[in-house]
Amino acid sequence: MDPFSQLFAAYLHTVSNSITEVYVDSMNTTVTSQSLVYNDTNIRFQHQLWKIKPNSVCANLEQQATQFSKCTQQAKAMFTELCSQLSSMENLNQRGRSLSNMYCNASLNYKPMVAYISEPMQKTEQELKEKECNLMILKAMQDNSDEVIKLKEQICQNIYL
C-alpha cells in the first residue's frame, strides 16, 4: 500500500471512529457505570439507552442490608434532586435533556429497598417458662429416665394455668 493510501485509510478510520463514538454517546447504546456521591453516600448504578438499570443501583452493597437500604433510599432522593435541577435549566443540549429524562424517570419509577432492623424485644416471664418447659420436653424425648420425666413435670406443671 502506498503512503497516500495509508494516510487516506487512517483518515477514514479516524473519522468513522469519531462518528461512531458520537452516535454511541448520544444514543447511550453501551452500558455505562456511574458512581456519584450524594449526602456522603457513594451511589453506584448503570444506565443504558438513557434508562437506569434498577437492579444495578447500589448493587455493590446488596450483602449488607442496612447499608443497601440507606444507599437505595439516598439514590431515590438523588434521582429526584437531579431531575429537579436539570429540568429547571434552560438551553440544555441533547445530552442534558437525555440525562434529565433519565433521572426524572428514575425519580418516578425507582423503588428503594427499605429495611428497618431493631433490637429484639425482651421475653416475658411466661415466654421464658414456656421455653424452659419445651427444652425439658425435648430432653425427656431423648432420655426417658425417671429423673428427667419428674423434672419435666415439675417445670411444666404451672405454665398454662
Q: 22-53 in b/e burial notation, b at 16+ Cβ within 10 A?
A: eeeeeebeeeeeeeeeeeebebbbbbeebebb
Question: Which of the pair, 95 or 116, is modelled with greater confidence?
Answer: 95
The reported pLDDT for the residue numbered 14 is 55
Which DSSP string corresponds to 34-54? Answer: EEEEETTEEEEEEEETTEE-G
Grid coordinates given for 129: 417458662
- Please compute the mean of the pLDDT values over residues 104-115 and round it to a whole number: 93
DSSP conformational letter for 32: E
DSSP conformational letter for 150: H
High-pLDDT (> 90) share of the chain, %: 44
Question: Which of the pair, 28 or 98, is modelled with greater confidence?
Answer: 98
Does the structure show a pLDDT above 80 at 7? Answer: no
DSSP conformational letter for 33: E
Spans of all domains in the chain: 18-109, 125-156
